[in-house]
Amino acid sequence: MPLSGHNGGVTWEWRSIAVVWVLAVACAVIIGLLSARGQEIAWIGLTLAACTIATLGIQIGTGRKEGYVSRMTTSIVGTVIVLAIATGVFALIGLM
């Protein structure tokens, strides 16, 4: 999967992946701001489920079968990394 298009811009493949990563970051921030202390992990799990469903919808919505598995994998792995970092931050906050 190329990182950039012929004009040097970001390709639609990466935009369809990055949308889910941005959703994961936004949800992590909302969880940090609005959830009760100690409840973050439950919300992180729900966020992972929502991002997985969003990934399925977005990737099916592209109508392209070429690279489908690669786009799904990249999107979900990126989401897991974002949420793992958020979980680490919440754990550190909980220790204080």
Q: What is the pLDDT of residues 59-73, one digit of tens each?
A: 999 898 899 999 999
Whether 65 is covered by a domain: the verdict is yes
Domain assignment present for residue 11? The answer is no
Structural domain includes residue 7: no
Domain assignment present for 67:
yes
What is the residue range of 84's domain?
26-95
* Structural domain count, the chain: 1
- Quick: pLDDT tens for 28-61: 999 999 998 888 999 999 999 999 999 999 999 9
Label residues 19-56 b or e (16+ Cβ within 10 Å = b). Answer: ebbebbeebbeebeeeeeeeebeebbeebbeebbebbe
* Residue 82 included in any domain: yes
